[in-house]
Structures are given as structure tokens and as C-alpha cells.
């Protein structure tokens, strides 16, 4: 049985139903992680939690130390990772409030340290990333949603943008032509690093707004917060059913 790690995104800086045992700051070769790892029990099973943007939500997407976070989770014995993130919806099915389990990824980010394989003494390694996400974690998330009675869309392409600004309408049109269904700012290089280090990783995305140009309404933080608040409650219910993996 694997040890489950949960990376919490915006709106999920802590897991209310996690019975916390302890917190540990992990030293990594890549510097500081977003915060200490929280060890606890969720539904009676061991999980390790980290808030991607820091527990006070102060680290923007392009400044997250993805390498340190992933390395730290791996270091403490995590084998499977559920990566929770708020996203914008692009395709018709991805309305605000929808929970989506993406099965593909397009990386539009730039300038982020995005590999553990920096060359030097080590060999050049090209990981197979045709299927970027772990089928086993995705399958368990689908089952868990079913058990919890929470509707989810079981597929879609996650487009990772650089941020922290939101996209232009033209950028979203382009991403849509490319096949993107949802857009977020943290899915890369997080997923890449997880694969490189051997973690079985899958995203759990909550659509919190219609992406740029997809709605007549302007995108406001107030509207996003309202959807996020309600939606993350459903995400928590799914997470409670998902462990063990």
C-alpha cells in the first residue's frame, strides 16, 4: 500500500479533517519547500500534506519551489500524490464549480527550474511523459468521487501557464485550439518532477472561473473565492474517500 501525499492549492491550505500527528521541515538539496510537511491521518489512513503556496498563501505560482516540494514528499516515503489546484475553465463542460480529473497536460510555462536531471556528473535522462498522470491515482479519485456522491469530469487537458496574471482572450483561444480544457499555473513543472523522481501523481482540479473571454462577466477574485469556498468542500469529501491508495 502506498503513502499518499496531498498537495493543496489555492483554497486548500489545510485539510480540516486531517488528524495532525506532527509537522516536519525537510531540508532538500533544492532549498526550502513551501512549508513544513504535515503528517496525519485522513479517514484513518496516513497522509502527508503540503500547501503549495505556503500555509499563509504567500508564494505565487512562478515562485513555488516545485523541486523542493516534490523532493521532500519523496524523501519522507510518499509514493502517490494527489495535486489539488484551482483552474479556469475553457471547454464547454468546464463550468465554474466543476471538478475535473485531467488526463493530459500542455506546458506553456517558461523559466521555471523544471527538472532534477541537470546533467553534470549524471547521465542525460529523457523520461517517457506520453501519459503525464498516474492511472492508478486517477482511477482511485474517480472511485472516491463515486463513493462520496460528488460529480467529476473524468478527463481533460490541463494547460499550465506562467502567471501570475490571468491570460488574454487570444491566449485562451490559442490554448483551446491546442486542445486545452482547463488552465492553471501550477501543473507544470510539478507533474514533470513527480514523474522524474518516481512519484505516481495525478491532479484534482476545481474550476473556479471561466477562462478569459469565455464569459461576459469580468473575472473577479470575489467570484473566484465564492466558487472556491464551496468547491473545495466537495474536493475535501473526495479526498476523504480516496485513501488508502
- DSSP per-residue letters across 172-240: HHHHHHHT-SEEESSHHHHHHHHHHHT-EEEEEEEEEEEPTTSSSS---HHHHHHHHHHHHHHHHHHHH
- 193-212 residues near ligand HPA, rule: CB under 6 A: 208-209, 211
The residue within the footprint of ligand HPA, chosen from 3, 185, 242, 243 (CB under 6 A), is 185
Buried b (16+ CB within 10 A) or exposed e, 102-135: bbbbbbbbeebebebeeeeeeeeeeeeeeebbbe
The residue within the footprint of ligand HPA, chosen from 33, 42, 183, 202 (CB under 6 A), is 183
Phi, psi of 157 (to 5 degrees): -105, 125
Nearest approach, Cβ of residue 217 and ligand HPA (Å): 13
Strand partners, 183: 88, 159
- 122-181 residues near ligand HPA, rule: CB under 6 A: 161, 166-167
- 72-101 residues near ligand HPA, rule: CB under 6 A: 86-88
Nearest approach, Cβ of residue 209 and ligand HPA (Å): 5
Segment contacting ligand HPA by CB under 6 A, of 64-72, 125-133, 136-144, 182-190: 182-190
Nearest approach, Cβ of residue 183 and ligand HPA (Å): 4
Size of the site for ligand HPA (CB under 6 A): 12
Distance CA 113, CA 62 (A): 10
The residue within the footprint of ligand HPA, chosen from 5, 180, 184, 187 (CB under 6 A), is 184
Amino acid at each position: 500500500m502506498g503513502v499518499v501525499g496531498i498537495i493543496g492549492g489555492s483554497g486548500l491550505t489545510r485539510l480540516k479533517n486531517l488528524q495532525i500527528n506532527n509537522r516536519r521541515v525537510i531540508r532538500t538539496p533544492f532549498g526550502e519547500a513551501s512549508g513544513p510537511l504535515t503528517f496525519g491521518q485522513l479517514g484513518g489512513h496516513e497522509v502527508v500534506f503540503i500547501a503549495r503556496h505556503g500555509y499563509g498563501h504567500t508564494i505565487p505560482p512562478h515562485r513555488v519551489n516545485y523541486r523542493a516540494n516534490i523532493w521532500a514528499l519523496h524523501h519522507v516515503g510518499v509514493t502517490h500524490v494527489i495535486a489539488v489546484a484551482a483552474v479556469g475553465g475553457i471547454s464547454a463542460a468546464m463550468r465554474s464549480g466543476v471538478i475535473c480529473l485531467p488526463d493530459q497536460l500542455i506546458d506553456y510555462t517558461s523559466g521555471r527550474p523544471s527538472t532534477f536531471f541537470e546533467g553534470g556528473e549524471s547521465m542525460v535522462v529523457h523520461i517517457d511523459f506520453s501519459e503525464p498522470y498516474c492511472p492508478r491515482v486517477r482511477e482511485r479519485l474517480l472511485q472516491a468521487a463515486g463513493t462520496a456522491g460528488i460529480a467529476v469530469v473524468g478527463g481533460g487537458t490541463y494547460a499550465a501557464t506562467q502567471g501570475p496574471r490571468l491570460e488574454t482572450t487570444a491566449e485562451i483561444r490559442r490554448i483551446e485550439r491546442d486542445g486545452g480544457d482547463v488552465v492553471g499555473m501550477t501543473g507544470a513543472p510539478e507533474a514533470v518532477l513527480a514523474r522524474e523522481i518516481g512519484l505516481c501523481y495525478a491532479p484534482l482540479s476545481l474550476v473556479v472561473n471561466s477562462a478569459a473571454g469565455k464569459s461576459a462577466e469580468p473575472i473577479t477574485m470575489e467570484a473566484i473565492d465564492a466558487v472556491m469556498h464551496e468547491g473545495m468542500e466537495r474536493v475535501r469529501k473526495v479526498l476523504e474517500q480516496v485513501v488508502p491508495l
